[in-house]
Amino acid sequence: MTSATPKLEYRELGNTGLKLSCVGFGASPLGNVFGGVTGEEANAAVREAFRLGINFFDTSPYYGGTLSEKVLGNALKALGVPRNEYVVATKCGRYKEEGFNFSADRVTRSIDESLERLQLEYVDILYCHDIEFGSLDQIVKETIPALQKIKEAGKTRFIGITGLPLHIYTYVLDRVPPGSLDVILSYCHYCINDSTLEDIIPYLKSKGVGIVNASPLAMGLLTESGPPEWHPASSELKSACQAAATYCKEKGKSIAKLAMQYSLLNKEMTSVLVGMKSVKQVEENVAAATELAASGIDEATLAEVEAILKPVKNQSWPSGIQQS
Ligand code: NAD
């Protein structure tokens, strides 16, 4: 990076003391979740991320059936960056072959498996992955206490929960002792088409948890090439996002850049975690952040895109099981 290149902003994550780059590297694409990626492409994307100041990497055993963890681990090892210069988050309780298992026994084995695949001695954050698919009472009574033991054993520095419906956060945080959880990772709820995460920010801050905002591109909805085939949005939401992307393209603008900038504008969310699989995407997403810092967002295009998306604003999709 030359001295003229604007630096990425770093923001503090809740009470953890961690300072995360405002653009985080979502590594689910390294598990071929959004199309194939070679080891070389993955290594190059991770190398470029470091070069441009990204220090936060997020993966899970679920992504690509453990592939994402392995590919990220290899890329980090190949780079040889000192361990205290980056933050790695992984997850437990959701697996491609096994499905969901939030038992204390499974999550306790899970972290050892993840550390081996990542070739690390510890991760910085360990989340229970997509808890709405388990019993929330089990998460409160069994899984979080198991994660706390993993933390005490030094295998993770901090612990958290992830999932789609926002009520899971209040349900769990209302039932665990204060300070039990360090972080929450929410996805698809703070992007141009859905900003509902904003409503619970004061609550989350009152509980002292750090906030990671994943999927600023709504898992591909807010890109020119559109979402992957498995995307759970309704056809109405997909069509509206496609219309917004076409509008931007015709004006010579990038919907992905606008969407990144929209999410980055809210500084309550420490890091905007975007899924990346190429040097080009890393460069574009970092440029979105540095250009935002230098010259602000394109208000006129944002207003047009928001108008196109207004009929589907805050529309989500079902996720999880009926809680008893
Ligand atoms: P996203 O909104 O970040 O979109 C990713 C898609 O956008 C991919 O197809 C990627 O190739 C593409 N893309 C990235 N940069 C682009 C650019 N500049 N131009 C055009 N296309 C671009 O969705 P995501 O990857 O699902 O979310 C980000 C990360 O957050 C994930 O990789 C994962 O690490 C994490 N996440 C966690 C959970 C969870 O814990 N439940 C859920 C969703 C995401």
pLDDT tens digits, 83-134: 999 999 999 999 999 999 999 999 999 999 999 999 999 999 999 999 999 9
Please work out whether the CB of residue 118 comes within 6 Å of at least one atom of ligand 1: no
Please work out whether the CB of residue 187 comes within 6 Å of at least one atom of ligand 1: yes
Task: Tell me the CA–centroid distance for residue 120 and ligand 1, in Å.
Answer: 24
The Cα 248–Cα 258 span in angstroms is: 9
pLDDT tens digits, 45-97: 999 999 999 999 999 999 999 999 999 999 999 999 999 999 999 999 999 99
Q: Which CATH code is given to the segment(s) 10-234+257-298?
A: 3.20.20.100
pLDDT above 70 covers what percent of the chain? 98
pLDDT of residue 293 exceeding 60: yes
Please work out whether the CB of residue 281 comes within 6 Å of at least one atom of ligand 1: yes
From residue 317, alpha-carbon distances to 77, 228, 232, 282, 288 in Å are: 38, 16, 7, 28, 28
Task: Tell me the CA–centroid distance for residue 4 and ligand 1, in Å.
Answer: 29
Please work out whether the CB of residue 34 comes within 6 Å of at least one atom of ligand 1: yes
Nearest to 22 by CA among 294, 289, 293: 289
pLDDT tens digits, 256-266: 999 999 999 99
Looking at ligand 1, which residue's alpha carbon is closest to its atom 38? 187
Which single residue is written with the structure tokens 């993993």?
A: 150
Give the atom of ligand 1 at the shortest distance from the alpha carbon of 127: 40
pLDDT band at 5 (very low <50, low <70, confident <90, very high): low
Please work out whether the CB of residue 256 comes within 6 Å of at least one atom of ligand 1: yes
The mean per-residue pLDDT over the stretch 288-300 comes to 96
Give the alpha-carbon dihedral of 248, 269, 143, 132, to 10 degrees. Answer: -40
Contact 138, 105 (CB under 8 A): no
Contact 144, 111 (CB under 8 A): no
Residue-level pLDDT at 4 = 52
Residue-level pLDDT at 322 = 86
Q: Is residue 63 annotated as a catalytic residue, yes or no? A: yes
The Cα 172–Cα 168 span in angstroms is: 6
Residue-level pLDDT at 3 = 45
- Beta-carbon contacts of 297 under 8 Å, excluding residues fewer than 6 positions away, are 258, 261, 262, 265
- Beta-carbon contacts of 101 under 8 Å, excluding residues fewer than 6 positions away, are 93, 95, 107
- Beta-carbon contacts of 303 under 8 Å, excluding residues fewer than 6 positions away, are none
Task: Tell me the CA–centroid distance for residue 10 and ligand 1, in Å.
Answer: 20
> Which ipTM did the prediction report?
0.99
Looking at ligand 1, which residue's alpha carbon is closest to its atom 42? 187
Active-site residue, selected from the candidate residues 10, 62, 63, 169: 63
The Cα 5–Cα 120 span in angstroms is: 31
Nearest to 162 by CA among 96, 230, 104, 90: 90
Task: Tell me the CA–centroid distance for residue 34 and ligand 1, in Å.
Answer: 9
Give the atom of ligand 1 at the shortest distance from the alpha carbon of 185: 40
Residue 55: both structure tokens together: 């220090």
Nearest to 90 by CA among 62, 127, 117, 55: 127
Nearest to 46 by CA among 22, 67, 66, 30: 30
pLDDT of residue 34 exceeding 80: no
Task: Tell me the CA–centroid distance for residue 246 and ligand 1, in Å.
Answer: 20
Mutate to test the pocket of ligand 1, among 62, 67, 139, 215 (most ligand atoms within 8 A of CB): 215
Q: Where are the domains of the chain?
A: 10-234+257-298
Give the atom of ligand 1 at the shortest distance from the alpha carbon of 278: 11
The mean per-residue pLDDT over the stretch 33-56 comes to 92
If you average pLDDT over every residue of the chain, what do you get? 96
